[in-house]
Amino acid sequence: MPNLENLKKQAKQYLRWHRERYHPVAAEIRAALPRFRHLDDHQVLEAAFKLSDAQELVARRLGFSGWQALKTGTAAMGTQVKQPIGTPVLSGTEAVLYVADIHASCAFFTSKLGFAIDFLYGDPPYYGLVVRDRARLCLRYVGEPVFMGDVRERQQLLSASITVDTAAEIKQLFLEFQQAGVGFFRELRSEPWHARNFIVRDPDGNLILFAGPAD
């Protein structure tokens, strides 16, 4: 475990990131501090966040109930063996799409696929997040091709896979995108494994699978 002085510096770093509205820190705050868990990223960054909150964040990430417990634990490290913390629980996953123009990509996902912009980071933006219900897609600017030639299309290399719960929803979603003029890499079809799916191609050639049960 780092010494107490280093942990104090970590807490001040979290406080500084929050004041600077550094979006990636919002997820760490929400995951560690129960009172922030009902807030989205924007709300976390707008909420009051003090040094004591940052210290609690550091403590909870190390398996302690709070800052005082962490201080006691670090003092006792020389005489006690720290009890193992519980098995980590993965709380979510987000696909990352590599794009050449963040603004153009956001326009596509919001106007064609019904997503909303959660945040954009950088000036000019080089990273962002779009969301629709529980689907979250990260957009990362890159200035050069990620794939060589047509390998992505030939191998059908998916950048993201998004699911719905029912057969009616996957059909409705396909019709919604069709009406919006979305370009499909592959239209709605049934698969041998009792699923129905289709693949959308975004402006950068990223292939995004939408899938649901067959019936």
Please give the distance of CA 198 from its chain centroid, rounded to a whole number: 23
Mean pLDDT for the chain overall: 88
pLDDT in tens, 59-98: 888 888 888 888 887 665 544 445 555 677 776 788 999 9
pLDDT in tens, 33-65: 988 988 888 899 999 999 999 999 888 888 888
* Lowest-pLDDT range of 2-11, 73-82, 173-182: 73-82
Phi, psi of 124 (to 5 degrees): -75, 160
Contact 192, 208 (CB under 8 A): no
Query: Coil, strand, or helix at residue 26?
Result: helix
Convert 195-209 to b/e letters by CB count within 10 Å (16 or more is b).
ebbbbbbbebbbbbb
Grade residue 122 by pLDDT with cuts at 50, 70 and 90: confident
